[in-house]
């Protein structure tokens, strides 16, 4: 556990300095090749857990320290220790002793060993009182930045606490069954025979009782299923494509929604993404599923003149870049990396993409605008402004009971997502 704690602490320090957790862990797996599967899993669990509850843990650490630590890695090692003492089932003395040894690997300073030991044991002794004090401030209570809490309170005055609490849950593992290969009920039986409990959420959506490595999923390599959140699985059905349609997925990578569209109908699909490596992922994912697009291109959705063939589309999916504020369960680092002034910048880019794509749509065609955000500036307000600018745009109604004017809020079964279906009249 010592090595696991040490590497997790160093990874968290890099994230808090500005790096994405996904990129940090990819680098760890690349450089630390001798790690066992158990160690990799432990490092990932600790890194995600500390960032999920960073507000609470940091509040506790401020109560336990007289002054900030001079070393970011040691600071994060204490966060790891506190997380394990609160949220894991390890015996307290094992957590403390391992953290002390891990501090020796990071520093070798005997004073540091004593400090780590004293801080963590002091928490164990005063745990109830310290936990009560840590939640006196909202950042400690909800483990989100204060600006984030304030924004949600203003936009969802009656729901913001539930949203914040749901955003700290562990995300479920949800599968999308490839209906061209297997029926969802049939695949559910396949899972059960493999010893995996699962429930059917919708026609092609299955939620696993416990997450599992994708390589352990029956038929994954053969293209029977994909991993995709339930909220994201709504995109393709909402666009309602039919055989023979010419369809554009304008921000396609890594290709989950492109694949879903192709699973639902025989369409001529163009998939575009502005990152060449990510665009290649679209082709790879389609190939695994036994699907193929008409074209997979590298291109900027806001500059279609550089890749568009001048033939208009019947349907367009615009899953635009956004704050990702609805998927923090899966990416808890987002809460601490995102800044309040990022939101207007995302909104401006979304507006540019919408304007550029609208002219690519045939009269009578539909464009599905989508974000994995829960902030109104990127969602309802963005669409309101678009409708005011375009008299030829009509917002189509949805019949989804969980949606509030197109907004899905995060809960135990899906992420936060927003959809708006626009018809060109």
pLDDT tens digits along 206-233: 999 999 999 999 999 999 999 999 999 9
Residue 356 in this model has a pLDDT that exceeds 80: yes
2-136 has CATH 1.10.940.10 classification: yes
- CA-CA distance, 295 to 248, in Å (whole number)? 10
DSSP 90: S
The share of the chain scoring above pLDDT 90, in percent, equals 89
What pLDDT score does 102 carry? 86
As a whole number of angstroms, the longest Cα–Cα distance in the chain is: 73
| pLDDT for position 287 | 96
Q: Are 134 and 63 in contact (CB under 8 A)?
A: yes
Higher pLDDT, 243 or 70: 243
CATH code for the domain defined by 174-227: 3.30.70.1170
Distance separating alpha carbons of residues 284 and 199, to the nearest angstrom: 28
- Across the range 233-243, mean pLDDT stands at 96
pLDDT of residue 119: 94
What is the pLDDT at residue 330? 94
Q: Which residue(s) pair with 59 in the sheet?
A: none
Mean pLDDT (whole number) for 144-168? 97
**Residue 66: predicted pLDDT:** 86
Measured distance CA(252)–CA(258) in Å, rounded: 6
Residue 177 pairs with which residues in a beta bridge? Answer: 225
Structure tokens at 334: 């987002």
| Position with higher pLDDT, 102 vs 350 | 350
**CA 26, CA 384: separation in Å to the nearest integer?**
40
Q: Tell me the sheet residues that pair with 176.
A: 205, 226
Q: Virtual CA dihedral for 190, 196, 200, 202, nearest 10 degrees? A: -80
Q: What is the pLDDT of residues 303-315, one digit of tens each?
A: 999 999 999 999 9
Residue 70: pLDDT band with limits 50, 70, 90: confident
Q: Model confidence over 90-140: pLDDT tens digits? A: 899 999 989 888 888 776 566 788 889 999 999 999 999 999 999 999 999
Q: Which homologous superfamily does the CATH classification assign to the domain defined by 232-424?
A: Vaccinia Virus protein VP39 (3.40.50.150)
46 in Cβ contact with 84 (< 8 Å) = yes
The owner of tokens 């569209």 is 261
The confidence band for 302, taking pLDDT boundaries of 50, 70 and 90, is very high
Q: Which residue has the higher pLDDT, 400 or 178?
A: 178
241-252 in b/e burial notation, b at 16+ Cβ within 10 A? beeebbbbbbbb
| Beta strands 361-371; 417-424: pairing state | antiparallel
Residue whose entry in the numeric block shows the structure tokens 């749509």: 361
- Rg of the chain, C-alpha, whole Å: 23
- Per-residue pLDDT band for 69 (boundaries 50, 70, 90) equals confident
Q: Residue 380's pLDDT is what? A: 97
Q: What distance in Å separates the CA atoms of residue 55 and residue 73, rounded to the nearest whole number?
A: 17
Kindly report the backbone phi and psi dihedral angles of residue 362, in degrees, each rounded to the nearest multiple of 5, phi listed first. -70, 160
Q: How far apart are CA 362 and CA 358, in angstroms?
A: 9
pLDDT tier, 61 (very low <50, low <70, confident <90, very high otherwise): very high
- What is the per-residue burial (b if ≥16 Cβ within 10 Å, else e) of 125-134? eeeeebbeeb
Structure tokens, 247:
């369809």
- Domain borders along the chain are 2-136, 174-227, 232-424
> Would the pLDDT of 81 be above 70?
yes
- Residue 293 has a pLDDT of 96
How many Å apart are CA 388 and CA 339, to the nearest integer?
28
Q: What is the pLDDT of residues 14-38, one digit of tens each?
A: 999 999 999 999 999 999 989 998 9
pLDDT confidence of residue 33: 87
Confidence at residue 369, expressed as pLDDT on a 0 to 100 scale: 98
Separation of first and last alpha carbons in the chain: 62
Q: Which of 76, 251, 322, 372 is catalytic?
A: 372
The DSSP H or E segment spanning 214 is: none
Sign of CA dihedral 339, 341, 345, 348: positive
Average pLDDT over residues 272-284: 94
Query: What pLDDT does 334 receive?
Result: 97
Active site residue 251: no
């Amino acid at each position: 556990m010592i090595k696991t704690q040490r590497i997790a602490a160093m990874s968290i320090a890099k994230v808090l300095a500005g790096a994405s957790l996904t990129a940090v862990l990819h680098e760890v797996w690349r450089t630390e090749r001798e790690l066992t599967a158990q160690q990799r899993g432990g490092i990932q669990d600790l890194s995600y857990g500390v960032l999920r509850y960073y507000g609470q843990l940091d509040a506790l650490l401020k109560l336990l320290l007289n002054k900030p630590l001079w070393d970011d890695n040691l600071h994060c090692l204490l966060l790891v220790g506190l997380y394990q003492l609160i949220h894991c089932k390890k015996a307290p003395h094992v957590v403390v002793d391992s953290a002390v040894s891990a501090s020796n690997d990071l520093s070798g300073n005997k004073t540091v060993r004593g400090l780590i030991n004293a801080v963590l044991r002091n928490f164990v002794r005063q745990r109830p009182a310290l936990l009560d004090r840590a939640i006196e401030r909202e950042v400690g209570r909800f483990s989100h930045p204060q600006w984030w809490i304030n924004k949600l309170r203003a936009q969802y005055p009656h729901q913001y606490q539930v949203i914040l609490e749901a955003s700290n849950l562990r995300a479920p593992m949800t599968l999308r069954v490839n209906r061209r290969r297997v029926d969802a009920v049939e695949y559910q039986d396949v899972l059960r025979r493999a010893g995996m409990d699962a429930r059917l959420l919708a026609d092609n959506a299955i939620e696993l009782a416990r997450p599992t490595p994708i390589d352990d999923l029956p038929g994954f390599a053969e293209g029977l299923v994909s991993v995709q959140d339930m909220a994201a699985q709504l995109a393709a059905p909402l666009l309602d494509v039919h055989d023979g349609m010419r369809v554009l997925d304008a921000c396609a990578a890594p290709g989950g929604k492109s694949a879903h569209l192709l699973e639902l109908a025989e369409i001529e699909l163009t998939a575009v993404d502005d990152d060449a490596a990510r665009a290649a992922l679209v082709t790879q994912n389609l190939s695994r599923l036994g699907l193929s697009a008409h074209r997979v291109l590298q291109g900027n959705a806001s500059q279609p003149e550089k890749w568009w063939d001048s033939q208009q589309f019947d349907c367009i999916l615009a899953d635009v870049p956004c704050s990702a504020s609805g998927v923090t369960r899966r990416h808890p680092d987002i809460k601490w990396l995102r800044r309040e002034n990022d939101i207007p910048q995302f909104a401006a880019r979304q507006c540019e993409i919408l304007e550029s794509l609208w002219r690519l749509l045939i009269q009578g065609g539909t464009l599905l605008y989508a974000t994995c955000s829960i902030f109104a500036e990127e969602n309802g307000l963005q669409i309101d402004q678009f409708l005011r600018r375009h008299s030829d745009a009509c917002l189509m109604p949805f019949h989804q009971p969980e949606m509030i004017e197109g907004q899905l809020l995060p809960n135990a079964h899906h992420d936060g997502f927003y959809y708006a279906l626009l018809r060109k009249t």
